Amino acid sequence: MGKWKGIRKNIQKEKNLDIALYNLEVDKGETHDVAGEYPDVADKIRNIMQSARTESTHDAFKMEILNN
C-alpha cells in the first residue's frame, strides 16, 4: 500500500490482533508504530488482511484466534 506497511505481531503468543503500522518513507527500520495516528489506514489494512486471508490446510498453521 504505497508507503504503508501493516503487520500483526505475536498473534499466537499474546493473542494480539492489533495492527502495527509503519510509514516506510520515513521509517525504513519499522521502529515507530503510527497506527494510532492513522487509524483509517490501519483499518483499511485490517480489512484487506481479513478479506484476503484463506484458512490453512495444515494444522500447524491454524490459529484459533483467527477462527480456524
Q: In this predicted structure, what is the pLDDT of residue 4?
A: 97
C-alpha cell at 44: 483499511
Instruction: Please give the residue range of the domain that contains residue 36.
Output: 4-66
Is 22 in contact with 45 (CB distance < 8 Å)?
no
10-54 residue pLDDT tens = 777 777 788 999 999 999 999 999 999 999 999 999 999 888 877
Number of domains the chain contains: 1
User: Which residues, listed in sequence order, are joined to residue 21 by a DSSP beta bridge?
Assistant: 6
User: Confidence class of residue 65 from pLDDT cuts 50, 70 and 90?
Assistant: low
Q: In this predicted structure, what is the pLDDT of residue 68?
A: 52
